Amino acid sequence: MTNLAHSTDPQIVTAPQETAKVSLFRRILRNPMALGSLTFLAVAVFCAAFAQFLAPHDPNTSVISNVLSPAGGENPLGTDGAGRDVLSRLLYGAQFSLAGALVALATALVIGVTGGLLAGYFGKWIDTGWTWVISLLMALPNIIVLLAARAVVGPSLWAAMLIFGIMLSPAFFRLVYASVSAVRNELYVDAARVSGLSDSRIIARHVLTVVRAPIVIQSAIVGGIALAVQSGLEFLGLGDIKVPTWGAMLSDGFTNLYTAPTLILWPALAIGLTLIALTLLANSLRDELERSTGPRKQNRRKPTKPQPEAAAEDIVRHDEREPEGEIVLDVSHLSVGYPTPDGGIKRVVNDVSLTVRRGEVHGLVGESGSGKTQTAWSILRLLPEGGKIVGGSIHFQGKDLATLSEQEMEKLRGRKIAYIPQEPMSNLDPAFTIGSQLVEPMRICLKISAREARERALALLARVGIPNPERTFAAYPHEVSGGMAQRVLIAGAISCNPDLLIADEPTTALDVTVQAEVLDLLRDLQSEFQMAVILVTHNFGVVADLCDRVSVMRLGRIVETGPTRSIFADPRHPYTQELLGAILSEAEPRGPLVTAGAPGQPVSTRSASNQKGAVQ
Partner 1 sequence: MITFIVRRLLTGLVLLAAITTLGFTLLYLGGGDIARKILGENADEQTVALKAQELGLDRPVFAQYGDWVVNALGGDLGASWFSGQPVAAAILSRLAVTLSLVTGAVVLIAIISVTLGVLAATKREWIDRVAQVIALLGFAIPNFLFAVALVLLFALTLGWFDPTGYVQFTTSPSGWAKTVTLPVVALALGGIAAITQQVRGSVIDALRNDYVRTLRSRGIPARRVILKHVLRNAAGPALAVLAVYFVGLMGGAVIVEQVFAIPGLGQVAVQATTQGDIPLVMGLLVATGIIVIVFNLLVDLAQGWLNPKVRLS
Q: Which of 534, 475, 456 is nearest to 500 (CA)?
A: 534
Helix 265-292 / helix 246-255 crossing angle, nearest 10 deg:
140
The set of residues, in sequence order, having a beta carbon less than 8 Å from that of 496 and lying 6+ positions away, is 414, 415, 418, 441, 442, 445, 446
* Binding status of residue 474 toward partner 1 by CB under 8 A: no
* Minimum gap (Å) between residue 240 Cβ and partner 1: 13
- Indicate which single residue of 64, 152, 312, 596 sits in contact with partner 1 (rule: CB under 8 A): 152
* Minimum gap (Å) between residue 403 Cβ and partner 1: 18
CB atoms within 10 A of CB 257: 10
Query: Given the rule CB under 8 A, which of 40-48, 75-83, 202-210, 271-279 is the region that contacts partner 1?
Result: 271-279
Helices (H), 240-395: 246-255, 265-292, 294-301, 372-380
Instruction: Provide the b/e sequence for 69-99 (b: ≥16 CB within 10 Å).
Output: beeeeebebbbbbbbbbbbbbbbbbbbbbbe
How many residues of this chain interact with partner 1, rule: CB under 8 A? Answer: 76
Q: Which of 329, 315, 440 is nearest to 376 (CA)?
A: 329
Query: Given the rule CB under 8 A, which of 3-11, 105-113, 200-208, 252-260 is the region that contacts partner 1?
Result: 252-260
Between the alpha carbon of residue 418 and those of residues 354, 377, 497, the distances in Å are 18, 11, 9
Q: What is the spatial distance between Cα 379 and Cα 499, in angstroms, rounded to a whole number?
A: 13
- Indicate which single residue of 83, 232, 391, 597 sits in contact with partner 1 (rule: CB under 8 A): 232
* Binding status of residue 428 toward partner 1 by CB under 8 A: yes
Helices (H), 139-207: 142-153, 157-184, 187-194, 199-202
* Minimum gap (Å) between residue 413 Cβ and partner 1: 5
* Binding status of residue 596 toward partner 1 by CB under 8 A: no
Give 94 or 310: the residue with its C-beta nearer to partner 1: 94
* Binding status of residue 241 toward partner 1 by CB under 8 A: no
* Minimum gap (Å) between residue 83 Cβ and partner 1: 23
* Binding status of residue 296 toward partner 1 by CB under 8 A: no
Give 316 or 518: the residue with its C-beta nearer to partner 1: 518
Give 406 or 588: the residue with its C-beta nearer to partner 1: 406
Instruction: Say whether 21 sits in a helix, a strand or coil.
Output: helix
- Indicate which single residue of 79, 88, 231, 335 sits in contact with partner 1 (rule: CB under 8 A): 231
- Indicate which single residue of 3, 406, 589, 591 sits in contact with partner 1 (rule: CB under 8 A): 406
- Indicate which single residue of 70, 76, 123, 272 sits in contact with partner 1 (rule: CB under 8 A): 272
* Binding status of residue 426 toward partner 1 by CB under 8 A: yes
Phi/psi region, residue 366 (left: phi>0; alpha: psi -120 to 50; beta: rest), is left
- Indicate which single residue of 418, 503, 518, 532 sits in contact with partner 1 (rule: CB under 8 A): 418
- Indicate which single residue of 63, 68, 106, 444 sits in contact with partner 1 (rule: CB under 8 A): 444
Which residues inside 342-371 make contact with partner 1, applying CB under 8 A? none
* Binding status of residue 556 toward partner 1 by CB under 8 A: no
* Binding status of residue 527 toward partner 1 by CB under 8 A: no
Q: What is the spatial distance between Cα 161 and Cα 186, in angstroms, rounded to a whole number?
A: 38
Q: What is the spatial distance between Cα 19 and Cα 9, in angstroms, rounded to a whole number?
A: 17
Give 238 or 594: the residue with its C-beta nearer to partner 1: 238
Query: Given the rule CB under 8 A, which of 151-159, 356-364, 573-581, 597-605 is the region that contacts partner 1?
Result: 151-159
Sheet holding 345-357, edge to edge: 345-357, 327-339, 388-396, 399-400
The set of residues, in sequence order, having a beta carbon less than 8 Å from that of 566 and lying 6+ positions away, is 318, 319, 320
- Indicate which single residue of 1, 151, 194, 311 sits in contact with partner 1 (rule: CB under 8 A): 151
* Binding status of residue 453 toward partner 1 by CB under 8 A: no
